[in-house]
């Protein structure tokens, strides 16, 4: 299990990227799930972004927006692709005030 956390207090700030994954009952990792959690007192619009990658070393596509929200939440993202990563944060112009504590967890 891997966790990425960040306390966001400005525009154009994001968590680190994290790939969805789950532990199978056999002990092997299989792609699938990512928990997104936010808390704190903040005003603005947080955006979940996704990017694809391929090759060795990895070549990444541009990030694109998946979902926006303006209040704290806990959300499960299901994505069975083996070549994607997600992050969460304030895009330029979308932060007003406060601290948004964000967490991505496999």
The pLDDT of residue 31 is above 90: no
State the Cα–Cα distance between residues 40 and 44, nearest whole angstrom. Answer: 12
Confirm if 101 and 38 have CB atoms less than 8 A apart.
Answer: yes
For residue range 39-91, list pLDDT tens digits in order: 999 999 999 999 999 888 889 999 999 999 999 999 999 988 889 999 999 99
* Fold topology of 3-105: Jelly Rolls (2.60.120)
Helices (H), the chain: none
The rounded mean pLDDT for the chain is: 91
Query: Beta 74-78 vs 33-54: how paired, if at all?
Result: antiparallel
Confirm if 89 and 14 have CB atoms less than 8 A apart.
Answer: yes
* Proportion of the chain above pLDDT 90, given as a percent: 73
For the entire predicted model, the pTM comes to 0.88
């Amino acid at each position: 299990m891997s966790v990425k956390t960040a306390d966001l207090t400005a525009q154009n700030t994001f968590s680190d990227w994290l790939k969805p994954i789950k532990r199978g009952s056999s002990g092997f990792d299989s792609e699938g799930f990512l928990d997104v959690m936010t808390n704190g007192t903040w005003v603005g619009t947080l955006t979940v972004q996704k990017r694809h990658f391929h090759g060795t070393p990895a070549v990444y596509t541009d990030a694109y927006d998946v979902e926006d929200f303006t209040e704290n939440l806990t959300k499960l993202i299901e994505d069975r692709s083996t070549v994607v990563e997600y992050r969460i944060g304030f895009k330029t112009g979308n932060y007003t005030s406060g601290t948004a504590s964000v967490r991505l967890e496999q």
